[in-house]
Structure 1
């Protein structure tokens, strides 16, 4: 009899252990899904102006949690973070555009997109750009254009070029001047080469979106002028003004450039 009771107690004990073990196992919560940093890429910098620029990014993976913040960050130091200057451009995955403001002229900046979720902040690739002072301005058919980028070519010709942030249809502009000792502070015809007065050639060209090339046409009456107001060969600085009309390759279409100025461009 006692043996049977002991057996019954043992069976009940084992059953209780099994039941309690199963219950404990059944009550264990599901493991939380692993959350990682979001995946984001940085959009190329565009519309670069004196104090502003445009960039953005594209979030292709939220990392397993809602993206609660996104934008671009920038700094004069490499690897900018959200502790530096940044934009805030909404939430969630997908592409976004960021308007960068408060830049300083003649300063190099590093820019990259960011996306934040509960795991932290992920960053896109780093891009860099230099914001140049507008040291070249002119009007094309009355529309003000601002450019930068003065440099000298290896063959001794001075080149002014630039892109217009406000009007992207004007892609490229160049004035070419000879850097010879005979170049003086005076007014020249654009088709006049002080070093080779009998030579003919193209001294101005201009393009619209890479489609229509405008040039000062060789052999046409010379009415275009450029005035050198400062020429310092030792310091490699040049300043001046210009006004001219360009005729397209079709011989008919014209663009009128007025009130052109450039100041202390260097080579």
Structure 2
């Protein structure tokens, strides 16, 4: 349930495009800095060069954009985010907020374009950008009804967990190919057998790499909690051996592998 609550807070950023801070996550991508593999010219084992500090003016403009968004001044928010991008063009967080702002403005085409640009700028993703992009692509392709992602984000703003689950279940009936609803139901249920069923359903839908990694992490947790610790470790090792596993998911997998047998993840 803990991760479900974290995600509920993270996705509350729909209101005014932003909630004053980046969407929380357990991965190292929370800082808004894209993670990317070392270049081919970099000697193996060497740490990548540190990222240059962000210009203070860019951070100020980004904060201003979020304040504008909080009171519904979306055009002003977009201008501030764009100015922040001009000063810090490799910083992905303003572009992320551009996408959420367009979503709130019900301009899904512009939101999709923003997340496509973000995917090019930060191939490993930031926050939940991969999930947002995948969901918008499904809507664009007709696999999911238009407006499903926006409805999901509104549901995730609610604080009553029983009501959230009820609405998520309703969403899976209206949009059965919408992965985030299945994902949130899977990680929030307290019943192991039901969680396994929901995980299998979400994985069968071909989720984005970040969501897939989180689903497999939760599957390993459930296996561990059943007392099958060796099987859980093998699941985590397989996740780490998969080159498509995102860095943030790999960090969580290593943390779980480092736990002693008497600790339950």
TM-score by length of 2: 0.24
Structure with the larger RCO, 1 or 2 (CA within 8 Å, 6+ apart): 2
Q: More strand per residue: 1 or 2?
A: 1
TM-score by length of 1: 0.24
